Amino acid sequence: MGQGQNNTKTRTWEQLSEKDRYKIEALSQRGVPPSEIGKSLNPKRDRRTIEREIARGLTLQRDWELREKMVYLADVGQRKHDERAANKGRGLKIGHDHKLAEHIERKIIEEKYSPDAVIGEIRAQGLQFEVTVCTKTVYNMIDAGIFLRLSNKDLPVKRDGKKRSYKRVRKVALNNTKGRSIEERPPEADSREEYGHWEMDCVLGSGKACLLVMTERVSRQERIFKLSAKTQRCVLDVINQLERKHKNNFRKIFRSITMDNGGEFLDMESLENSCRKPGTKRTICYYAHPYSAFERGSNENQNKLIRRFVPKGSNIEKLSKADVQRIENWMNNYPRRLFGYKSANQIAA
């Protein structure tokens, strides 16, 4: 017999009402047995239900001859019911919506989403579930251990809501006195009004290999490349590769690149000069102030997303080209609160 073929009747569960309790009181004091009392209620109740209710509301009373007797009182039974209901606390908002719980678990555990991204995507895409929850509710449920598979260990980061204060430590990098300062960057790049201004950095692992990451300031689109080593030659090879791919459109797509003062980025002249048309500039490079990673904030925030897949200490040499592409695709399709839970690809389109 299959799951869909059975003779088990569907049972509905409903608590006794105050009206039911007064009826039980009247019938029990007339000596009616619990089985008959249960049949007289609407809906009908099992004998054990009536017996438990009578036991809950039993009260010692004395008659006019001071004889003691245990009788069932409806108001006592109702009071005890209300007290127990209050002690249970507030019910779970997610209720019995297992489909929603499974969706949240899958998105956070398997697809590396944050709770806010999960809830935001549900609203943005109009996904339908039995109940509606907010981001704060999801965090509370994770803290309370409500989910079957999901715990705080699965969260990428849990913030305390406090913002750090930032300040420049030094205006000029001693190893890069000839580099063009970020202070010279045009207003349209600073205000994120124009597409094509990128921030660039390296994500390191345990071996020589690393990831070269580029973040577009307007859309937060991400480009990720695996480097065999953290060297100027490897970085330049990637920029040359991009220019050959995009040809004349390179200057529109990569109007400027802002970097830190790492040794792998210090060959500004080679990075700016075209490999297709020697003697002409293909982009403009800018360098952030020393110890001022906040000046490349978009880049640093994107690096945190990459760390969900490439934790610190990971051997990047083991990452295949397909692995790197998968991370890049995930980041460019990740719903972002900043954009009303649209993705970087949707904003750049």
Q: What are the residue boundaries of the structural domains of the chain, listed by start? A: 18-87, 98-154, 182-348
Q: Quote the DSSP letter at residue 259.
A: E
This prediction's pTM: 0.70
Residue count of the chain: 349
Which of 188, 191, 118, 109 lies closest to 155, judged by CA? 109
Domain 182-348 has CATH 3.10.20.30: no
Which range is most confident: 3-12, 161-170, 281-290?
281-290
Euclidean distance between CA atoms 81 and 58, whole angstroms: 13
Euclidean distance between CA atoms 119 and 130, whole angstroms: 14
Which of 147, 16, 146, 21 lies closest to 89, judged by CA? 146
Q: Quote the DSSP letter at residue 169.
A: S
Do residues 79 and 115 make contact, with C-beta atoms less than 8 angstroms apart? no
Assess whether the previous peptide bond of 43 is cis (omega < 30° from 0). Answer: yes
Euclidean distance between CA atoms 75 and 57, whole angstroms: 8
Confidence of residue 249 (pLDDT cuts 50, 70, 90): very high
Written as six digits, the tokens of 39 are 């049949």
Residue type, position 118, single letter: V
| Separation of CA 37 from chain center | 53
Confidence of residue 12 (pLDDT cuts 50, 70, 90): low
Residue type, position 311, single letter: P
Confidence of residue 86 (pLDDT cuts 50, 70, 90): confident
Q: Which residues contact 272 (CB under 8 A, 6 or more apart)?
A: 281, 282, 283, 284, 285
Note the helical H segments in the chain: 18-29, 34-40, 47-57, 74-87, 98-105, 115-125, 135-143, 187-190, 232-246, 250-253, 268-272, 297-306, 321-332, 344-348
Euclidean distance between CA atoms 104 and 269, whole angstroms: 49
Euclidean distance between CA atoms 128 and 35, whole angstroms: 44
Per-residue model confidence as pLDDT tens digits over 110-128: 999 999 999 999 999 999 9
- pLDDT for position 322: 96
- pLDDT for position 178: 86
- pLDDT for position 1: 43
Confidence of residue 328 (pLDDT cuts 50, 70, 90): very high
Do residues 232 and 200 make contact, with C-beta atoms less than 8 angstroms apart? no
Give one DSSP letter per residue of 173-224, joined into a string.
-TT-TTSPBGGGS-HHHHTT-STTEEEEEEEE-SSS-EEEEEEETTT--EEE
Which of 287, 77, 309 lies closest to 205, judged by CA? 309
Which of 168, 171, 187, 190 lies closest to 179, judged by CA? 171
More confident of the two residues 94 and 211: 211
